Chain A
Amino acid sequence: MTDLTSFSAAELAGLVARGESSAVEVTQAHLDRISAVDDRVHAFLHVDTEGALAAARDVDSRRAAGEPLGPLAGVPVAVKDVLTTKGVPTTAGSKILADWRPPYDSTIVRRLRAADTVMLGKTNMDEFAMGSSTEYSAFGPTHNPWDLSRIPGGSGGGSSAALAAYETPLSIGSDTGGSIRQPGAVTGTVGVKPTYGGTSRYGLIAFSSSLDTPGPCARTVLDAALLHEAIGGHDPLDSTSIPAPVPDVVAAARLGASGDLTGVRLGVVREFAGEGAEPGVLAAFRAAVETLTKLGAEVVEVSCPHFRYALPAYYLIAPSECSSNLARFDGVRFGLRVGDDGVRSLEEVMSATREAGFGPEVKRRVMLGTYALSSGYYDAYYGQAQKVRTLISRDFATAFDQVDALISPTTPFVAFPVGARTADPYQMYLADLFTIPSNLYGGPGISVPCGLADGLPVGLQVMAPTMADDRMYRVAAALESAVGPFTPPAL
């Protein structure tokens, strides 16, 4: 029998449903794989062996009793450590939450449990989701299974690397500026940022509230769609959640897998298809455009003139919101407390706690945001950035008058060596150059593997209008059927 870790989530769900494998067998196979490779990959911050096996046993006994089970029953899933899990450590990659066990489940995790999936554990990430390489994790970087000397992208590098290393068939990420799509691209996996408000943020430790979007990660487009369907939809606990059903992403993925894109109009974002990206990335992207054309899509070039301002606008809005969101980490109610010696004042204890608990990138962004929001600077920075955001949304609206979806490379460069970009924050920020516009606009985006450059994966990004997530699944599934699969070398 083939190793259970090599199957897709859809296949595993079938095996369990038909009784050909038990949920415990499937879970144990993935736990064994984690034991075998994670000391090298470091995708996980916490493996919940007991919890996972208990959940798997529960699925098996309920199946044996003939009870109805969810469509992903018995399928393992790994969760980015930014989502709260009741009683299971949740750190957001930060020392300041190193020992925190939340008293409640995030909505996403609650829905994963309701779907009878098996949660394996929590995955590594840049601290508070701020970064593009997982090198800013307080607990050490994750390594890219394609080349362990390279980064797996970020901030959700753990979730994507775990997929590429076959430690899990499904994982959850969160995407504020590209933290699902960019790791997906550089690990040769699929990463989806749903429409903002299409997946609940309740229990997602906030980085930038108006941008943060939890979403599915998988090795195949169909698996991502199945996971998307399980976690998506309106949540009364999140005021910004959209009160509408999830678009039929599973049907769209199945339709796309037929490889026919006749009648679909795609727009190449002119501003993202030339300078700024590595030649190997551009070559793979152009080849993918040709493939899409062969599949029947009509591909035209579209200009989005304000996208060039997306990165600076993002680096005002996201830090501003994070400066406020991270204020609650003060050592008073939960998490790390430093310097409480009965001598230091409250303010000194708060200050010492934050000094010791936050890493350099978090401090940098909190300071940037505090400055941008301060009296006298607000209009020039935060106010201006919001105007840019409106202009970018208009670019999208204009583009979607002409085409069904936009395409671009997901990220300008392939996985870079560990340490290559940590000295210059701006070089790191560029990793999200192509993914940030969708966050500012609120529409969905998907990264799907489209080729290799120097033996490393390149991702194609498909961006769709808000609440038209199904469109991008169709395009991504069609491309996947024509170019895949891309399998990393054995670990």
Chain B
Amino acid sequence: MTTTLPAYDEVVARYEPVIGLETHVELGTNTKMFCGCPTDFGGAPNTRVCPVCLGLPGSLPVANRAAVEATIRIGLALNCSIAQWCRFARKNYYYPDMPKNYQISQYDEPLCVDGYLDVEVNGEPVRISIERVHMEEDTGKTLHVGGATGRIHGATESLVDYNRAGIPLVEIVTKPIPGAGAMAPEVARAYVTELRDVLRSLGVSDVRMEEGSLRCDVNTSLNLPGEQWGTRTETKNVNSLRSVERAVRSEIIRQASVLGAGGRIIQETRHFHEDTGDTTSGRSKETATDYRYFPEPDLVPVAPDPTWVAELKAALPELPRLHRRRLQQEWGLSDLDMQSILNAGAVELIEATIAAGTTPTAARKWWLGELSRRANETGAELADIGATPKQVAELQGLVDAGKLTDKLARTVLEHVVAGEGSPAKIMVDRKLEVVSDTGALTAAVDEAIAANPAIADKVRGGKVAAAGALVGAVMKTTRGQADAKTVRELILERLGVQG
């Protein structure tokens, strides 16, 4: 590995990157693609299996209509044409986590073709062309044990869990994206982000990259201006939006380094490493694997009724980009404010918080302020931070009612995030409520005056600013739970001074 890599700015000034993305989405259907086994996560190994998804001799697949429907809806949302007749195909290769030693997929007859997805990169619209959307089945999972790395090399045995085998997958493939220049990493990220939002709005998948329900392979190549596109590499193991961007950037730099040293790019699969941000070489694709694709004879062709497709199209939800535009107007936000919400991935959270009964300003303040700060600190997604929109709305309600000061509210929020329950409950349990009982407060004020006669005299003598020290003393005895303004007014009143 080269120790001195060229600077990114220099690289993109010299080379033009071309990227392409292949995204696998696990559909959230109740049952698997070709059998009735449940798809839910987390069962003991090999408990979500039957003769079909184990590929036992004699078993036969039957296509899941819900999966076909979800795929058509994805295709429609991505502005694709829906095939009136298409077939599944067998992709033949040997691997122990593939029960039949072929994967049922689609080859030259995908269900959806020729679409596009409009995304925004730094406020500029970019149209990403979609080549195809097709259906296939997932493989099982292989666990290599006994070695140091968890990889097959050095392992003493391999265990296979077929629970995942046969989970419905949709593969979404872009056409090559040239012309993004230095923005190529951002374009890749914007595309995957927008795609994720579209899929989420369709309700077809839980689109969690960390859990693998949304998986992304990034193709990258470099060429000199005016020359043919270069050899591409395919980077796998890209498991977050941030990684998509980093993987493209890292691969652009690596390829430039190879080319700059007079080398050539090998067509290969590369693995992205979250910790280092590098890619390392995987399987070479120079000698193309012959998958011997042929139409799957165990399944009848898929021929969706055009009326059905039209119904699905009419029933598509408002897609995220239009939805966001509408929200921005409703919330009265500037482009910049809206952009910061988008960047934080907080649109839906804020929307839900407003729906739970608070104002756009307050909702935005909490999610982009305190909660975003915490998310950045812990590296968690905002949605997984531990506070729900309903809790945030409730917290703001307590502030609005004068029961919490802003400072107290932040303390309560900390406990909410720690999972201690609702803001109201935490406020009571932890005695964080603003002290509004004037009797108790007056006693505390009198005590402070009595304890600080010199300061009290100064205030009586007209040095009103000196009252700050008395306020501080009262706040100390009330453990910060009094409203400072109220305390100040009370002190001045007791000392017979006009505020």
Bound form: Cα–Cα A323–B99 in Å: 15
**A334, B56: Cβ atoms closer than 8 Å:** yes
Chain B 50-78 interface 0/1 with A at a Cβ cutoff of 8 Å (1 = within): 01001111111111000000000000000
Bound form: Cα–Cα A240–B297 in Å: 8
How close is A204's CB to chain B, nearest CB, in angstroms? Answer: 6
List 13 A–B pairs whose Cβ atoms lie within 8 Å, in order of A's numbering: A102-B58, A106-B58, A202-B60, A238-B60, A323-B92, A324-B102, A327-B92, A328-B57, A333-B55, A333-B56, A373-B293, A375-B290, A382-B294
Bound form: Cα–Cα A251–B289 in Å: 55
How close is A194's CB to chain B, nearest CB, in angstroms? Answer: 17
**B60, A239: Cβ atoms closer than 8 Å:** yes
Interface members, chain A 361-413 (any B CB < 8 Å): 370, 373-375, 378, 382
In the complex, A210 has a CB within 8 A of chain B = yes
Interface members, chain B 410-445 (any A CB < 8 Å): none
Q: Which of B60, B290, B293 is the one whose CB lies under 8 Å from A201?
A: B60
**A375, B292: Cβ atoms closer than 8 Å:** yes
**Top 3 closest pairs, chain A to chain B, by CB:** A327-B101, A209-B297, A210-B297
Note all chain A residues with C-beta closer than 8 A to B288: 375
How close is B484's CB to chain A, nearest CB, in angstroms? Answer: 72
Note all chain B residues with C-beta closer than 8 A to A382: 294
**B94, A378: Cβ atoms closer than 8 Å:** no
In the complex, B281 has a CB within 8 A of chain A = no
**B58, A333: Cβ atoms closer than 8 Å:** no
Note all chain A residues with C-beta closer than 8 A to B337: none
User: Known: A324-B90, A332-B160, A333-B54. Is A237-B294 also a contact (CB below 8 A)?
Assistant: no
Chain A 193-228 interface 0/1 with B at a Cβ cutoff of 8 Å (1 = within): 000000001111110111000000000000000000
In the complex, B333 has a CB within 8 A of chain A = no
Bound form: Cα–Cα A330–B57 in Å: 12
In the complex, B472 has a CB within 8 A of chain A = no
Can you name the residue of chain A whose Cβ is closest to the Cβ of B55? Answer: A328
Bound form: Cα–Cα A201–B60 in Å: 8
Note all chain A residues with C-beta closer than 8 A to B57: 84, 90, 92, 97, 100, 102, 205-206, 328-329, 334
How close is A352's CB to chain B, nearest CB, in angstroms? Answer: 14
Contact residues of B: prevailing secondary structure: loop
Note all chain B residues with C-beta closer than 8 A to A425: none
How close is B495's CB to chain A, nearest CB, in angstroms? Answer: 88
Binding site for A on B (CB under 8 A): 51, 54-63, 90, 92, 94, 96, 99-102, 158, 160, 288, 290, 292-294, 297-300
Q: Which of B59, B62, B290, B294 is the one whose CB lies under 8 Å from A320?
A: B294
**B58, A206: Cβ atoms closer than 8 Å:** yes
Interface members, chain A 231-268 (any B CB < 8 Å): 236-240
Can you name the residue of chain A whose Cβ is closest to the Cβ of B142? Answer: A346
Q: Which of A102, A209, A330 is the one whose CB lies under 8 Å from B56?
A: A102
**A327, B100: Cβ atoms closer than 8 Å:** yes
Bound form: Cα–Cα A93–B294 in Å: 27
Q: With A328-B55, A332-B96, A378-B292 given, name 7 new contacts (CB 8 A).
A: A84-B56, A104-B51, A206-B58, A239-B60, A239-B300, A324-B102, A350-B94
Note all chain A residues with C-beta closer than 8 A to B58: 83-84, 90, 102, 104, 106, 202-206
In the complex, A167 has a CB within 8 A of chain B = no
**A239, B294: Cβ atoms closer than 8 Å:** no
Note all chain B residues with C-beta closer than 8 A to A210: 297
Bound form: Cα–Cα A205–B59 in Å: 8
Note all chain A residues with C-beta closer than 8 A to B94: 327, 330, 347, 350
Q: Which of B60, B61, B294, B300 is the one whose CB lies under 8 Å from A324?
A: B294
**A328, B99: Cβ atoms closer than 8 Å:** yes
In the complex, A321 has a CB within 8 A of chain B = yes
**B92, A324: Cβ atoms closer than 8 Å:** yes
**A202, B59: Cβ atoms closer than 8 Å:** yes
Can you name the residue of chain A whose Cβ is closest to the Cβ of B92? Answer: A324
**B51, A103: Cβ atoms closer than 8 Å:** yes
Interface members, chain A 65-117 (any B CB < 8 Å): 83-84, 90, 92, 97, 100, 102-104, 106
**A103, B56: Cβ atoms closer than 8 Å:** yes
Bound form: Cα–Cα A253–B329 in Å: 76
User: Known: A330-B101, A332-B96, A332-B160. Is A240-B292 also a contact (CB below 8 A)?
Assistant: no
Note all chain A residues with C-beta closer than 8 A to B61: 239
User: Known: A239-B299, A327-B92, A328-B101. Is A374-B290 also a contact (CB below 8 A)?
Assistant: yes
Bound form: Cα–Cα A280–B61 in Å: 46
How close is B208's CB to chain A, nearest CB, in angstroms? Answer: 29
Note all chain A residues with C-beta closer than 8 A to B101: 327-328, 330
Note all chain A residues with C-beta closer than 8 A to B55: 328, 333
Note all chain A residues with C-beta closer than 8 A to B292: 323-324, 370, 373-375, 378
Note all chain B residues with C-beta closer than 8 A to A330: 94, 96, 101
**B96, A346: Cβ atoms closer than 8 Å:** yes
Among B58, B100, B290: residue with most chain A CB under 10 A:
B58
How close is B349's CB to chain A, nearest CB, in angstroms? Answer: 43
Q: Which of B62, B96, B158, B290 is the one whose CB lies under 8 Å from A237?
A: B62
How close is A195's CB to chain B, nearest CB, in angstroms? Answer: 15
User: Known: A205-B57, A209-B297, A334-B56. Is A236-B158 also a contact (CB below 8 A)?
Assistant: no
Can you name the residue of chain A whose Cβ is closest to the Cβ of B160? Answer: A332
Can you name the residue of chain B whose Cβ is closest to the Cβ of A330? Answer: B101
How close is A200's CB to chain B, nearest CB, in angstroms? Answer: 9
Can you name the residue of chain B whose Cβ is closest to the Cβ of A100? Answer: B57
Bound form: Cα–Cα A102–B51 in Å: 9
Among B63, B92, B158: residue with most chain A CB under 10 A:
B92
Bound form: Cα–Cα A210–B57 in Å: 16
Can you name the residue of chain B whose Cβ is closest to the Cβ of A351? Answer: B94
Note all chain B residues with C-beta closer than 8 A to A206: 57-58, 298
**A240, B92: Cβ atoms closer than 8 Å:** no
Note all chain B residues with C-beta closer than 8 A to A328: 55, 57, 99-101
Bound form: Cα–Cα A202–B51 in Å: 10
Bound form: Cα–Cα A382–B297 in Å: 13
Bound form: Cα–Cα A79–B57 in Å: 16
**A240, B298: Cβ atoms closer than 8 Å:** yes
Note all chain A residues with C-beta closer than 8 A to B96: 330, 332, 346
Bound form: Cα–Cα A456–B358 in Å: 93
How close is B115's CB to chain A, nearest CB, in angstroms? Answer: 28
Interface members, chain A 316-339 (any B CB < 8 Å): 320-321, 323-324, 327-330, 332-334
User: Known: A236-B62, A324-B90, A346-B158. Is A333-B298 also a contact (CB below 8 A)?
Assistant: no
Note all chain A residues with C-beta closer than 8 A to B62: 236-239
Bound form: Cα–Cα A103–B57 in Å: 11
Bound form: Cα–Cα A330–B300 in Å: 27
Bound form: Cα–Cα A237–B62 in Å: 7
**A104, B56: Cβ atoms closer than 8 Å:** yes
Note all chain B residues with C-beta closer than 8 A to A100: 57
User: Known: A239-B299, A327-B100, A332-B96. Is A373-B60 also a contact (CB below 8 A)?
Assistant: no
Can you name the residue of chain B whose Cβ is closest to the Cβ of A342? Answer: B156
Note all chain A residues with C-beta closer than 8 A to B56: 84, 102-104, 333-334
How close is B87's CB to chain A, nearest CB, in angstroms? Answer: 12
Bound form: Cα–Cα A106–B52 in Å: 12
Q: Which of B63, B294, B297, B298 is the one whose CB lies under 8 Å from A373?
A: B294
Can you name the residue of chain B whose Cβ is closest to the Cβ of A335? Answer: B57
Bound form: Cα–Cα A454–B335 in Å: 95
Bound form: Cα–Cα A346–B153 in Å: 12
Bound form: Cα–Cα A239–B62 in Å: 5
Note all chain A residues with C-beta closer than 8 A to B51: 102-104
How close is A270's CB to chain B, nearest CB, in angstroms? Answer: 31
How close is A339's CB to chain B, nearest CB, in angstroms? Answer: 15
How close is B382's CB to chain A, nearest CB, in angstroms? Answer: 43
Bound form: Cα–Cα A202–B50 in Å: 13
How close is B37's CB to chain A, nearest CB, in angstroms? Answer: 13
Bound form: Cα–Cα A103–B297 in Å: 24
Q: Which of B59, B99, B290 is the one whose CB lies under 8 Å from A203?
A: B59
Can you name the residue of chain A whose Cβ is closest to the Cβ of B91? Answer: A324
Note all chain A residues with C-beta closer than 8 A to B293: 373
**B297, A321: Cβ atoms closer than 8 Å:** yes
Bound form: Cα–Cα A210–B63 in Å: 17
Note all chain B residues with C-beta closer than 8 A to A239: 60-63, 298-300
